[in-house]
Amino acid sequence: MAGIRFVPGNQITLLENGETYFPVMEAALDRAKHEIFLISYIFQNDTIGRRIADVLKRAALRGVKTCVLIDGFGSDNLPETMVADLNAAGVMVMKFRPGISPWTFRRRRLRRLHRKIVIVDQTAAFVGGINILDDFDTPDQPSPRYDYAVHVEGPLVRDILVSTQRLWSRVIQTRLRIRPRFSTRDRDQDRQAVFPESGGRMRAAFLARDNIRHRRDIEDAYMQAIEQAQVEIILANAYFFPGSKFRRALVDAAGRGVRVVLFLQGKKEYRLLYYASKALYGSFLDAGIQIHEYHNSLMHAKVAVIDEQWSTVGSSNLDPFSLLLSLEANVVVDDKKFAGTLKRSLEKAMAAGACQIRPNRWKRQSIRLRMVSWLCYGLVRFMTGMTGYAPGKDSG
C-alpha cells in the first residue's frame, strides 16, 4: 500500500493480554547478550513490575547494556527506591518529562510518552499497548485487562531500534544537557548492521508518531486503509474520539457497503472519557456501523483489521490525545494469516464479553444522557487541544 514503507521478510506474532505477553518478553530479556531497550508509559511497582525489574537487573549484571525509558506522568508513582535499585544493578533509567503536575496548563510539556516497546539484541522487538503492570491490578476485576502486543523478528527490528535510539538520545540530551551519544555516524553504522534473518514472510511497517516530522503517520495509515476498504473494517479502541475527517471516512465506508465494526470500552474507568465516547454513537449507528462495548474487564486494545489483510497493533488510541499530542508507536502488518488471527481473537472477545448497541435501543436513551455525552466530548477535545491534558491516567 502506497504511503507506508513496508519491510518484507518478518515474522510477526500476536500476543494477547499480559498473561501471554510477559512470559515471551521475559524469556527474550533473559536471553539478551548485548543490548536492551525498554520503553513504557507506565512501569508499576506491582508483581509484574518487580518481575520485569528483576529480569532487567539480571541482564545488566551479566554485562548487557540495559536502557529503560518511562513517562514522567504515567510512571510518577514508581518508587525512587525501585529506580535506585535498578541503577545500582547497572540499569540506566530515564524519565520522559518528569515532575510535571497534571494541572499545569502548558501544552508542550504535557505531551506524553505513550509508547510500549522492548528491543533485545537487534534480533527481537515487542510493540503494542501493554504497560509494565499487572493485568489484574483493578479491584473486583474478574478478567485480565484486554490488550495486545506483537513480537517482531526480522529486518523490521532495525526500524524500531533506530527510532528508539533516537528518542533515547534526545531524552539524554534534554535531561543531562550533553551531546547525544547516538550520533549521525552511529545511525549510519546501524543501517549497515547485519540483522539476523527471521525466516518470516510477512510485510510490516513501523510507525512512530512524534511532534516533529511524523505527526500524522499513524492517523494517515488508518485513513488510507479505511478509504481503500472493500469488505470489512474492525476497529478496537479503548478511547475513541476521532476527528470529523476520520468519522466521515468510516461513514463513507459503511455507505459503500463495507461492514464497519467498532469494538469499544464499556466500563466506566474514567467517567468523563466514558461519557464522551458515547457522543458519536447516534451518527455511527444511523450510518449502519456496528458498535460493541466490552464489559468483561478494562478494555485497552488499540488494534484494527481491514479486509482480512491489513492490520495494526500498537499504543495509539483514536483520540486527540494520541493523534495530536503523545509519542505513539504502531506496527502495521500486511499479511492475510496475521490479520485472520487478530480478527478471530477480536471476534472471540466480542462474543464472550461484549454487548452490541442496537440502534432502536440507543434512540431510547434519555435526552439528559445525550446532552451529558456531548458536553463531555466537547470538554475532552477542548482540554486536549488547549492544554494537552486528557483527564485520567490512561493505563492503556
Are 222 and 188 found together in one domain?
Answer: no
Provide Rg for the chain, Cα atoms: 20
**Of 70-74, 101-105, 303-307, where does mean pLDDT reach its minimum?**
101-105
Report which of residues 396 and 321 the model is more confident about: 321
The CATH number covering residue 159 comes to 3.30.870.10
All three cell numbers of 207, joined, read: 510507525
Are 227 and 186 found together in one domain?
Answer: no
Domain boundary among 183, 204, 225: 204
Distance CA 225, CA 222 (A): 5
Distance CA 23, CA 130 (A): 13
Are 35 and 94 found together in one domain?
Answer: yes
Predicted pLDDT of residue 382: 76
Mean pLDDT along residues 259-274: 87
Are 17 and 162 found together in one domain?
Answer: yes
| Domain presence at residue 394 | no
> What predicted TM-score, i.e. pTM, was given to this entire model?
0.90
- Per residue in 19-32, pLDDT (tens digit) is 999 999 999 999 99
The question of whether 343 is a catalytic residue gets the answer no
| Domain presence at residue 300 | yes
Are 257 and 369 found together in one domain?
Answer: yes
- Residue 292: which pLDDT band, with cuts at 50, 70 and 90? very high
- Per residue in 171-211, pLDDT (tens digit) is 988 776 544 444 444 444 444 445 566 678 999 999 999 88
pLDDT at 10 over 90: yes
Q: Which of 57, 71, 95, 116 is catalytic?
A: 116
Domain boundary among 204, 226, 250: 204
Domain that holds residue 323: 217-387
Distance CA 155, CA 172 (A): 27
- How many domains does the structure of the chain reveal? 2
Are 228 and 195 found together in one domain?
Answer: no
Q: Which of 57, 71, 95, 114 is catalytic?
A: 114
Are 178 and 226 found together in one domain?
Answer: no
| Domain presence at residue 239 | yes
Are 107 and 226 found together in one domain?
Answer: no
Mean pLDDT value across the chain: 88
Predicted pLDDT of residue 275: 84
Q: Which of 76, 121, 186, 190 is catalytic?
A: 121
Are 196 and 222 found together in one domain?
Answer: no
Long-range contacts of 49-54 (CB under 8 A, 24+ apart): 49/78, 49/82, 49/132, 49/133, 49/134, 50/82, 51/22, 51/26, 52/22, 52/26, 52/132, 53/82, 53/85, 53/86
Mean pLDDT along residues 369-379: 85
Distance CA 252, CA 250 (A): 5
Q: Would you give the distance in Å from CA 128 to the centre of its chain?
A: 5
Report which of residues 107 and 223 the model is more confident about: 223
| Domain presence at residue 212 | no
Residue 147: phi and psi, rounded to 5, are -160, 175
| Domain presence at residue 299 | yes
3-state secondary structure of 206: strand
| Domain presence at residue 211 | no
| Domain presence at residue 22 | yes
The question of whether 300 is a catalytic residue gets the answer yes
Report which of residues 270 and 40 the model is more confident about: 40
Q: Which of 57, 95, 302, 343 is catalytic?
A: 302
Are 244 and 125 found together in one domain?
Answer: no
pLDDT at 388 over 80: no
Which residues contact residue 217 at a Cβ distance below 8 angstroms, ignoring those fewer than 6 apart?
A: 207, 208, 209
| Domain presence at residue 269 | yes
Q: Which of 214, 220, 307, 393 is catalytic?
A: 307
Are 155 and 235 found together in one domain?
Answer: no
All three cell numbers of 257, joined, read: 457497503
pLDDT at 387 over 60: no
Domain boundary among 150, 170, 204: 204
Q: Which of 57, 151, 278, 300 is catalytic?
A: 300
Are 226 and 338 found together in one domain?
Answer: yes
The question of whether 302 is a catalytic residue gets the answer yes
pLDDT at 104 over 60: no
The question of whether 286 is a catalytic residue gets the answer no
